[in-house]
Amino acid sequence: MNTLTASQVHTPTFDIAIIGAGLAGSLCAHLLSQSGQSVCIIDKSRGSGGRASSKRLDGDISCDLGTPYVVAKHPDTLALFAQLMEEHIVAPWKQLSNMGSQAFVGVPKMSAITRHWIQNAKFITSTRIHHLDQISQQGDDQSSWLLRDDKYQPVVIAKKIIVAAPAPQAASILASHDNLAVLLLRANQASASYLSQWAMWLETEQCDLNALIEPKNSLIKRMIKDNYKPMRHNEKVDRWVIQTEPNWTKQNLDSDKEWISQTLLQAFAEITEHRVLKHGEPHRWFLSRFTENKGNKCFVWSPEHNVGLAGDWLCQGDAEGALLSALSLVNHMKDSE
Ligand SMILES: Cc1cc2nc3c(=O)[nH]c(=O)nc-3n(C[C@H](O)[C@H](O)[C@H](O)COP(=O)(O)OP(=O)(O)OC[C@H]3O[C@@H](n4cnc5c(N)ncnc54)[C@H](O)[C@@H]3O)c2cc1C
């Protein structure tokens, strides 16, 4: 274990540092800062949301390029969304809900959910955590973690860490410290079970097609009318987000973006017979969906190291699972204090 050097003395210190401001990390930040602990949340992107983030287009218009909604079935997530509804952070998308489950969207965009949850934590953006060091601070008998970025610069010091990144990204962080081999093994085992998808937004004239279309035998898996979601801007166009079929994506993961874009536009036109007025660049989600669901314990906590793991890959492999994973991890941490 290293002792803190003079240059690291000024590194900001928190009770808990969370790596990843997606649904899982942001919910952990919310629950832990509510219990009075100082929390810092770090993300490699410019904003929060991860795979539930939104892309800003013109002015204050944006669209959701990742998960279009969160389907809640579990009583704990339904309670979480009931609270968010009271605070006007989410709204139910009634057309997509059915007897056993409800679909929710962030308002006015998906990233409103994670933004709301991280407001009482220190949020550090555009910073990729790459390395973990265990250190001892003067006058403190418990060791702390020093988190370093990809240039090996110190970012923060914290007593406890939660890694809330997808399994392959979690694995590369955990691999930086010898004592985290058990957690690393868990993340490594999960790393092969991801699908990739391309997503792209486009605009057509307003039309009466359904808000959610899942074409058969197409390279397009799903087409969602983003402006049909509740509490969106009332506009003169329809804005769609199209997501590609995972097998087709696998074969075209490295293809040229211009070719992907033209191929998607052609497929869209064939399905809808509508003219595209405007479109964005295709976005490649390398790790879009986690496919394995073995029903294991839905978080990992190592009490000897004060390091935890949360995320969709530990629970259900979907957006609701990310939330359930965060809820169970934080409950466990609180119970074991
Ligand atoms: C196109 C698409 C469609 C989807 N459709 C659905 C759907 O219909 N229904 C559904 O339930 N789910 C869907 N999902 C999946 C859903 O979005 C995810 O299950 C959920 O958002 C995962 O949340 P998370 O917090 O576990 O992970 P993430 O959202 O991936 O958050 C992890 C965060 O960690 C950050 N990070 C990673 N490594 C580092 C690092 N080293 N340093 C700092 N930050 C780091 C990332 O930038 C990211 O913000 C979809 C996803 C995509 C992409």
Going from the Cα of 333 to the center of ligand 1, the distance in angstroms, rounded, reads: 23
Give start-end residues of each CATH 3.50.50.60 domain in the chain.
2-52+116-192+293-335
Q: Which two tokens stand for residue 74?
A: 């579990």
Percent of the chain at pLDDT exceeding 70: 96
Q: Which amino acid, residue 251?
A: Q
* Residue 189: DSSP 8-state: H
Mean of the pLDDT values across residues 162-167? 98
- Give residue-wise pLDDT tens across range 36-74: 999 999 999 999 999 999 999 887 789 999 999 999 999
Tokens coding 180: 């985290």
Q: How far apart are CA 41 and CA 48, in angstroms?
A: 10
80 lines ligand 1 (CB under 6 A): no
Stretch(es) of the chain classified as CATH 3.90.660.10: 195-290
Q: Which of 26, 55, 67 to mutate to test the pocket of ligand 1 (most atoms within 8 A of CB)?
A: 67
Task: Provide the pLDDT for residue 46.
Answer: 96
Residue 96: the pLDDT is: 81
Segment 99-120, tens digit of pLDDT = 778 999 999 999 999 999 999 9
CATH class belonging to 2-52+116-192+293-335: alpha beta
Instruction: Flag whether pLDDT at 258 surpasses 70.
Output: yes
pLDDT at 5: 64
311 Cα nearest atom in ligand 1: 26
Contacts (Cβ under 8 Å, ≥6 apart) of 320: 70, 71, 72, 73, 74, 77
Q: Report yes or no: 164 and 19 within 8 Å, Cβ to Cβ.
A: yes
Single pTM value for the model: 0.97
The reported pLDDT for the residue numbered 229 is: 94
Confidence at residue 309, expressed as pLDDT on a 0 to 100 scale: 98
What values do phi and psi take at 190, rounded to 5?
-85, -15
Cα 285 to ligand 1 centroid, rounded to whole Å: 9
Per residue in 169-228, pLDDT (tens digit) is 999 999 999 999 999 999 999 999 999 999 999 999 999 999 999 999 999 999 999 999
pLDDT computed for residue 33 by the predictor: 96
Atom 50, ligand 1: residue with shortest CA distance: 67
**Shortest-distance Cα residue to atom 5 of ligand 1:** 67
Q: In the chain, what percentage of residues exceed pLDDT 90?
A: 87
- Name the most confidently modeled range: 3-12, 92-101, 183-192: 183-192
pLDDT for residue 312: 97
Task: Give 139 Cα–ligand 1 centroid separation in angstroms.
Answer: 39
Mean pLDDT of the chain: 94
pLDDT of residue 38: 98
Domain spanning 195-290: CATH 3.90.660.10: yes
144 contacts 134 by C-beta, under 8 angstroms: yes
- Residue 104, Cα to own-chain centre: how many angstroms? 16
The reply to whether ligand 1 has any atom less than 6 angstroms from the CB of 64 is no
Mutation pick for ligand 1 pocket among 93, 131, 264, 289 (CB with most ligand atoms within 8 Å): 289
User: Three-class SS of residue 56?
Assistant: strand
Place 294 in a pLDDT band, splitting at 50, 70 and 90. Answer: low
Query: Which letter does DSSP use for residue 240 in this model?
Result: E
Ligand 1 pocket check for 128: Cβ under 6 Å:
yes
Q: pLDDT band at residue 4, thresholds of 50, 70 and 90?
A: low
Q: How confident is the model at residue 15 (pLDDT cuts 50, 70, 90)?
A: very high
308 Cβ below 6 A of ligand 1: no
| Residue 133 near residue 161 (C-beta atoms within 8 A) | no
